């Protein structure tokens, strides 16, 4: 689905960094650069992606968490 606004939030060490990724293209995907702090190995990172439809209702949501290892 094209034209869907997508937002990303990353939680790290108690801080949340939110960023609009733009709207999905014809293939239903969106990509863009992220401006995030350097991560320390062994720390928990949470990622949440939200897609919005008409009247700013959430039409899609996904998230995950992981520990950095590098």
To the nearest 10°, report the CA torsion of 27, 28, 33, 34.
Answer: -160
For residue 40, what is the DSSP state?
A: P
Task: Quote the strand ranges of the chain, DSSP E.
Answer: 5-12, 15-23, 44-52, 58-67
Q: Tell if the pTM clears 0.85, that is, is over it.
A: no
Is the pLDDT at 1 greater than 90, yes or no?
Answer: no
Per-residue pLDDT tens for 22-59? 999 999 999 988 888 888 999 999 999 999 998 889 99
> Cα separation of 1 and 11, whole Å?
27
């Amino acid at each position: 689905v094209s034209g869907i606004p997508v937002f990303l939030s990353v939680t790290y060490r108690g801080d949340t960094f939110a960023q609009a990724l733009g709207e999905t293209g014809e293939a239903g995907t969106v990509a863009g650069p992220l401006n995030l702090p350097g991560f320390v190995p062994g720390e928990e990172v949470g990622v949440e992606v939200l897609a919005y439809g008409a009247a700013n209702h959430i039409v899609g949501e996904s998230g995950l968490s992981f520990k950095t290892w590098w």
